[in-house]
């Protein structure tokens, strides 16, 4: 979207065995103030720093595929979170690029 458009994302499941092409995002949480983005048309509350990096990396004419731990890992499910955290080395090392945002 354009700079002032709402942040709108979609979730989908892929297997790392299929060698998907994706980027990753590493960022610091920073400002605890909350705003919202939309994931599959559902509002999600996110920290301002998270929102800001999504605005900065988006391209008006290109849909980016980005793995972001805060969204891609169900944070309220301890079992899933433990499983996914164990995969993070593989997830980051197989990405075509990693965006790093320190604010």
Reported as a pLDDT band with limits 50, 70 and 90, residue 29 is low
Give pTM, 2 decimals: 0.83
More confident residue, 11 or 33: 11
More confident residue, 64 or 30: 64
Q: How far apart are CA 59 and CA 1, in angstroms?
A: 7
What are the two backbone dihedrals, phi and then psi, of residue 42, each rounded to the nearest 5 degrees?
Answer: -110, 130
Asked whether residue 53 carries a pLDDT value surpassing 80, the answer given is yes
Q: How far apart are CA 49 and CA 53, in angstroms?
A: 6
């Amino acid at each position: 979207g354009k700079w002032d458009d709402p942040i709108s994302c979609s979730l989908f499941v892929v297997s790392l065995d299929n060698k998907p092409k994706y980027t990753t995002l590493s960022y610091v949480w920073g400002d605890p103030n909350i705003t919202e983005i939309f994931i599959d048309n559902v509002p999600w509350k996110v920290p301002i720093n998270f929102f800001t990096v999504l605005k900065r990396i988006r391209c008006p004419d290109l849909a980016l595929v980005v793995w972001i731990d805060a969204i891609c890992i169900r944070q309220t499910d301890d079992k899933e979170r433990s499983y996914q955290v164990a995969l993070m080395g593989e997830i980051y090392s197989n990405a075509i690029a990693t965006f790093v945002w320190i604010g």
